[in-house]
Structure 1
Amino acid sequence: MRASWRRARAALLVHVALRLVGVGVVGLWGQRKGIGLHEILATRWDSVYYLNIADHGYSSAMVPACHIGGPTCKLAFFPVYPLLTRGLSAVTGAPADWTAWALSLVASLLAAWGIFAVAEKLHNARVAFFAVALYAVVPHALVLSMAYTEPVFVALAAWAVYAVLTHRWPTAGVLALLAGATRPSGSAVVAAVVLCALRALFTGRERDGTRWAAVRPWAAVLLAPLGWLAFFAWVGQRMGRWDGYFAEQRQWGSTFDGGVYTVRSLRELLTRPALTLDQVVVAATVVTAVVLLFVLTRRRPPAAVWIYTALLVLIAVGGAGFFHSKARFLLPAFPLLFPFAVALARARKPTVYWILGAATAASALYSGYLTLVWNRSP
């Protein structure tokens, strides 16, 4: 791990520097409006639910009351992030909002390191460098600096994928367990770990003459689904029905229709006389993600990378409701950036500077728009 950290250090420094540009623009923009950076990034939108769970648990009523989701609205939010926030807040004595924000910032660095590790394993350190740099300036990259679950989830997911690529099966199982209890899309991590572990077992790739060699993949198979299944079962028990979690999601207006809603939304956007910037960016992100998935598929990446990425795209594109959040839902699909990273690794320096510079400026300005102009959750 020390060697990996040394190789990743320069990329992580660039990643942090690029993220600071986006956060800085939001801070300055917010200051002009009389709103502090902490309030913008740590106490709004979904952060309110996570902080309430961290402070009061799932049993107490949500304050202020949920406009959607009903009285059980908090059951739509997975427990790892608020529980980590609660534990760290208890240990440090810091308020939950500051703890949650700090946790996200640290997790975002671990996520960038995990992305570097996966990209380096698939390609080389130069490609990994650009993958981490690009990840800092995707349109919704500001979420990586907010008190949201995405930084924690991406950190767990990236390292789980890396653990599969390096045949560290128990580690992959534990990380998938935690990822599955962090976000609904943790099922993509679970599937990647379980299917690859079963493949290793049935193709004999883990046979090295020891009993432990056969036990390791089974550990991943058994551990990986436990987080997602445990929360699913617990919500079902709380709501008195086996499909309680999905019932709660329906109350939020979130279902799965295989992409009908997404296609209809994209078609409707083409006929609207006026579009918001968010609608344009989300639509472009969704279409680009589907195209990049085909590009990634043609390059035949390892099964863990493809399964994880394909399922994330399927979940985001196939879900009905919350069209404005689909670009954020696609944020964990970091392997989609690898073709761009490969192209940048081959490009001349002036081209690299222009592309990264323009992307950084656009991402920073869009971050300000998302948090201070757009009136819905990023």
Structure 2
Amino acid sequence: MVERLLTRAGARGWPTLSAPLRIGILYLAARAVTTGFLILAASLAGPGSRFGPNATIGSFLLGWDAQWYWLIAVSGYPTELPLTESGVVSENQWAFMPVYPYLARIVGLPFEALTWSGAPGWGVGAVLVSLVAGYLACLVLYRMLRMRIDATAATWAALFFAAGPLAALFHVGYAESLFLLWLFLSLWLVQQRRFGWLYLLIPLMGFTRPGVLAFALFLGLYGIWRWLRRRHDALPRRQVVHIVALGLLAVVVGFSWQVFAAIATGRADAYLATELAWRRTAVSAEGFIPFGGFLEGTAMWFGRIWNLGEATGYVVLAASVLAIAALLLFEPHVRRLGVETRLWTASYLVYLLAVFFPQSSIFRLLVPVSPLWGAIALPRSTAYRVAVLGACLVGQWWWIYNMYALANTAYWTIP
């Protein structure tokens, strides 16, 4: 269907349409498909789903972590951390950043008279912010990729992103859409070597969702790369100052939330203890150890759950790291995307390895490497591109069905 749409549009002057209009048409088509999937999933939800047999699309859009964002919007952050019966910190709002919930609250003010899934006004605002930010993120991604690849491939890449396996994030009350907008804008500006706006975008990223420390690592690697190439690619002193200052800003912003949580609650470990509350039942370590969560998660999946042996898991993990490194270094389609995309992808994956505990949320947490859709879109075969789009839609349905229709708290059904 999408291929027929693109073919007919091409015959009628599709290339002459402005990029915002082209991306907008494709984005709306993708959102219609996702809406259909969500409605179907709601009809399939049963008693075993956390949403119950009477699930609605509204309950899906404002379910899971959207409830935490709503709680932040209406009651802020606790000054006293909630504790479990055993006296350890339990899940609470400090794991989530403030920009998205408060922006959704402002956008939702005109809709306060509505009541939707128990979140009057805010629910409408949250969905609107996600939808609009998603469209803008698609447009900026197209602009980013257009600097490295042709318009047709960049358009297909934006479509893969808009209709990809995690496309429901453009609908639900999560901060991902907004974070991706800030991130893609930042990467686009680095590509253009226009650093001024990053002094605003880095704090916006850092207080929208975790991940700005990965951007700090990216800026450090980018600065080293520029320095090594300075004889072939001039590196003015002004740019050196910007890169260093912005890297330091990203580090400060990345750690500042821990300081705010500590000051507000009187506990130095408030943020880390809150984050660890989500993985405490699955890990043995009491505190946070860099890379420890991924190692323990690998042992859990390959050892206790799949019965393949912990050693097998570590071998698979090491092989995966080497394979991804080789992909970023040598794969020709990836290399065409430019050093900025490759360095960002490497930085973000290292960040995930350092801080994340692997479970089904990893699919959602991999969305920031979406500029790689550009490499997937480069082969010119129409049949290939349609097949990729089909795989995207199949993956999207699989994710929505498992995370919403079947929704429970098992490690493999958490979005």
Coarse TM-score class (shorter-chain normalised): 0.7 to 0.9
Partner of 2:31: 19
1:318-344 superposed Cα distances (whole Å, 9 cap, x missing partner)? 44535121111111111333321112x
Partner of 1:257: 291
Equivalent residue for 1:41, pick from 61, 64, 67: 61
Q: Partner amino acid for 2:298?
A: V
Q: Identify which range, 127-136 or 69-78, moves more after superposition.
A: 69-78
Deviation at 1:103, TM superposition (A): 0.6
Q: Partner amino acid for 2:123?
A: D
Deviation at 1:60, TM superposition (A): 7.0
Partner of 1:352: 385
CA contact (8 A) 2:95 2:274 kept: yes
C-alpha change, 1:354 and 1:306, in structure 2 (3 Å) is closer
Partner of 1:276: none
Partner of 1:340: 376
C-alpha change, 1:320 and 1:29, in structure 2 (3 Å) is closer
Partner of 1:134: 160
TM-score scaled to structure 2, two decimals? 0.73
Partner of 2:7: none
Q: Identify which range, 363-372 or 146-155, moves more after superposition.
A: 363-372
Equivalent residue for 2:399, pick from 356, 360, 366: 366
CA contact (8 A) 2:81 2:265 kept: no
Equivalent residue for 1:81, pick from 92, 97, 100: 100
Structure 1 vs Structure 2 CA RMSD? 3.6
Residues 1:125 and 2:158 aligned together = no
Q: Identify which range, 231-240 or 169-178, moves more after superposition.
A: 231-240
CA contact (8 A) 1:76 1:245 kept: yes
Q: Partner amino acid for 1:360?
A: L
Partner of 2:329: 297
State how far apart, in whole Å, the 1-side matches of 2:87 and 2:358 are.
12
Greater CA radius of gyration, 1 or 2?
A: 2
State how far apart, in whole Å, the 2-side matches of 1:34 and 1:242 are.
43
1:33-61 superposed Cα distances (whole Å, 9 cap, x missing partner)? 5322122112x110111000011111378
Partner of 2:42: 30
State how far apart, in whole Å, the 2-side matches of 1:67 and 1:133 are.
48
State how far apart, in whole Å, the 1-side matches of 2:398 and 2:157 are.
21
Q: Any stretches of 5+ residues in structure 1 without a counterpart?
A: 273-283
Matches within 5 A, 1:249-328: 249-253=275-279, 255=288, 256-257=290-291, 259-268=294-303, 270-271=306-307, 291-292=323-324, 294-299=326-331, 300=335, 302-321=338-357, 323-328=359-364
Partner of 1:238: 264
Deviation at 1:217, TM superposition (A): 4.6
Partner of 2:74: 55
C-alpha change, 1:341 and 1:367, in structure 2 (3 Å) is same
TM-score scaled to structure 1, two decimals? 0.79
Deviation at 1:197, TM superposition (A): 5.5
Report percent identity of matched pairs.
21
Of Structure 1 and Structure 2, the greater helix share is in 1
State how far apart, in whole Å, the 1-side matches of 2:319 and 2:165 are.
14
Q: How many residues align?
A: 355
